[in-house]
Amino acid sequence: MLLFVLYHTAEYFVLFKYNPIAFLLVQLIFFITAWLLARWQKFKGLSAWGMDTGKLWLKHLLIGMLMGVVLYGVTYIITLATGSEVVTNIPGMAVMAPQLALFCFGVFFSSFSEDILTRGYLFKHFGDKMPAGAFVFVSATIYIVNHIYRLSDGFETCAYLFALGILFAIPLVLTKRLWFTGGMHWIGNTTYYFTHNIITTKTTEVHLAPNTIFIVCILLFIPVVVSVIRSSKLDMFTSNKRIVSITNTMPLT
């Protein structure tokens, strides 16, 4: 509840007051509090919530970032190709660059704080106490509820938030880390902002809504993410099986 209050206090300063300094200050307090909570609960700081900086953490982050660009980029291309959205204005680079850099910096903190709140904290305490599918479902449901300002936006919004919650929870279950999910979440948000707010995009009146296209893309993207994680050897389950296999074939001494 403490992390929930801090997260939404930071969101309040962005959505209703547009006070970036206050937003960043509260986000800083969020991460300090998350670290202190982990220490109080006898864990090792933020690594308890999946943000350890051990071996390959940067690889997890970078591949997740790439997946975020691909998901949101492909969805955007499809919405433009189907006429669900149209571009109304493309500003010059002098306007785009500072806006994108500022948003990318700020949304890093909001994306990872939300990942800790709705995924990392839960996984540490309940990940080993319930089946993986049940955890993904619970995490995705809490992810919807955490969007307290979007709950009245209708079924499509809740549906794509739930689908995103599933997509974001699966890499955590497979890798036991938050970096892949966080990278995908962070750069996905950045890509969406770039393609809809910096480059101004308008929804048209065609029958196929952009959110519907997004939901389909998310569902089709889930096996892609699983395949990328396993082919990149980031899957802890596969890695553990490989270690056991190697150990079993070693000669006894």
* Residue 205 three-state SS: coil
Q: Domain of residue 83: give its range.
A: 52-237
Q: Is the residue at 205 inside a domain?
A: yes
Angle between helix 179-193 and helix 93-115 axes, rounded to 10 deg? 150
What tens digit of pLDDT does each residue of 40-79 get? 999 999 999 999 998 899 999 999 999 999 999 999 999 9
**At a CB cut-off of 8 Å and minimum separation 6, what does 195 contact?**
72, 73, 76, 201
Is residue 180 a part of any domain in this protein? yes
Q: What is the pTM of this model?
A: 0.91
253 located within any domain = no
Residue 13, in any domain of the structure: no
- Token couple for 16: 């209703």
Question: To which residue do tokens 């519907």 refer?
Answer: 212
Number of domains in the chain: 1
150 belongs to a structural domain: yes
pLDDT for 141-196, tens place per residue? 999 999 998 888 999 999 999 999 999 999 999 999 999 999 999 999 999 999 99
In a domain, 66, yes or no: yes
